[in-house]
Structure 1
Amino acid sequence: MKTSLLFLLITVSCLTASDLTAQSVGISNDGSNPDPSAMLDVKSDSKGLLIPRMTTAKRIAISAPADGLMVYDTDTKSMWYFKLNTWTEVGGLALPYNKNVSVNGNALALTNGYAGGNAIVGHAFDGAGISGYSQSGAGGVFSSQSGPGIRTLGSGAEINGKIKIADGTQASDRVLTSDASGVASWKPLPTAKTAMTSLFDTAPETYVVLTENNHNLLPFVAHPTRPEYGNYGYDGGTNFNDATHEYVVPADGLYRTSFKLYFRPTSQSTTFTYPSSYYVSVSKVTPYETPNQDDYLLRSWGYEYNTGDTYPAMLSGEASTFFAAGTKLKLLLFYSINGTSENSQLKLYGGRYSFFSIERVE
């Protein structure tokens, strides 16, 4: 009796399958018709679909799996399907992964809500761990509510191209400096060490005739116009007044003032009873003080010319002094004739022979 009943069930099943060829099959608990687009429509609001379950080894051992074959892997605790000769985990990311999308927003967004966890970690043996590219926007944008936007460990950072750092302290002509903690910010450029070097803007072999018994203001300029002085490395500076021939100190600090003068007298008169002499001085006028012709930074005595002397002389000197911003400095030369001054002149040669230099040392 049992054998006859089993044969009957198998026969009915075969006939039913034959009658339902090319038709939809529905399995439900409410008697609803299957969806015509589905070969098998399983419907339930209290039960699910249970597909074959197996270990990873058994899944891989399936012989000639068809594309679309699905199983549940009991080792990985995930669904797998077969496609293009490869098993792919459902919900996993198959590598290499390349996909082009066009969306108004983020193409990929990851959030890790666990404290101390990372959203993305990249590692490469030779290339870049994480690489970003944009045609017109930023290749990478990083920020943090409390920590640094970017942190490098050990190897530092290398930037090939321009860099822009805008933290509110940026401005024209500033340099990037850091505090004791290594936090960088933009600071104004320090005052240039070399402040000014000037000379006479005259032909190389010409001279200036000095007035005797007078503090002669030497006509130095910091911006010579003659082309023959273009190759001597003179620093024009921005604080030297060519019209008044004086230098205005730009900032408080220690400055070294130096000069070199080349001059030659004409033949001294035979009626001289005493030698003639000269000395160089650097006059200074400090802000908020009454100008004083005799307020000198330095005074340097020079040679004495006797009757008949015509040899040239080179006089140089220097001094280092602290100056307040706004102090005005100029070079003076006093020429004294003792005796009858007829037929006597002191000729000061300019060009590259004489210079007046002011350098900030700290």
Structure 2
Amino acid sequence: MKKLVFFAVLPLSALLYSQVGINNNAPKATLDITAKTTDGSKPEGIIAPRLTGDQIKSADAQYGSDQKGAIVYALAAVSTASTKTANITAEGYYFFDGNLWQKVGLGVDTSVYKGSGSLSGNTVVTQNANTLAFTGTAVNAFSVDDTTFSVDASNNRVGIGTATPSVRLEINNGSTAGAIKITDGTQAVNKVLTSDANGVGSWQYAIMPPGAIIYMATSTVPSGYLECNGAAVSRTTYPELFNLIGTTYGSGDGSTTFNLPDLRGEFVRGWDHGRGLDSGRSLGSLQNHMLQFHEHDIPTPTGGTGSGRAMITDDNGVNQGGNNTLVAGRYYTYNTGPSGNYGPETRPRNVALMPVIRY
């Protein structure tokens, strides 16, 4: 009987007030529903029509502009979507926008942002197994502070320090050195980035590793090198070189420095290293000059017969060779004055260049 009275009074209430109240006599809107129970003894709420996606699709012809704003609850996604039901992909509330059914909470606009905005605090996006993709066609389609990081979606390029990269990856650090830093355990002073046949990069020494010595046709020491002048240099400033040569050429002050090779005015000889041509040598050892034992033929003496050889003696005058001694009272002819190059040392023809060592 209560239900009959309610439906009988409802049209009269609508006529008198142009608003309808359920469980109240002072509606605040066109339809104002007040909960009947608040103690949890009965369920409260409004239940929209419940249909499957296929059932909603079957009524496509019934929905037009006059049904704009209609709300239903889809119990399941549509099996084969029509134009109007294309968005019914899961269970949930949907409303008809006059053309399509839209999921409640998304609406027509499915973009992340409808306009510019600001975060109110730190934000973390937990993707789990879900992907996050951006699509675009502009040059600076996605950026962080414009030039800090920029994606050129138009040309498939990425820029760091520039919003208009000219190659696939462009890093523009202006005039500040150190635009790239790759730390993988292979890095060290004076190494360059190289790759193997598969394009896997690693740090390697270039043509000249630490300890390599070259000769310069200039008196200017190039960057990355030190003159081989025997100087004591810092063990911490040049750690790679110190690790390689240690105190072979001098221990410096014994704790903080070490000595460089001193090649000024010296000829360099290949280390024998067991061959036996220059045995008994250690790497980096100094060898004094020496003149090998040898003989000189002399002409027949004037006023006599026979021949002879010059006698070779050591520093003490002891005969070291020549089985024919000079005969007293005999004279030997020779040219008036020696010819050739004579001086205080024995040396080959040479060119003076500056030796430097890679550190």
* TM-score class normalised by the smaller sequence: 0.3 to 0.5
Q: Which protein is richer in strand relative to its size? A: 1
TM-score (normalised: structure 1): 0.40
**Larger Rg, first or second structure (1 or 2):** 2
TM-score (normalised: structure 2): 0.41
**Which one scores higher on RCO, CA 8 angstroms, separation ≥ 6?**
1
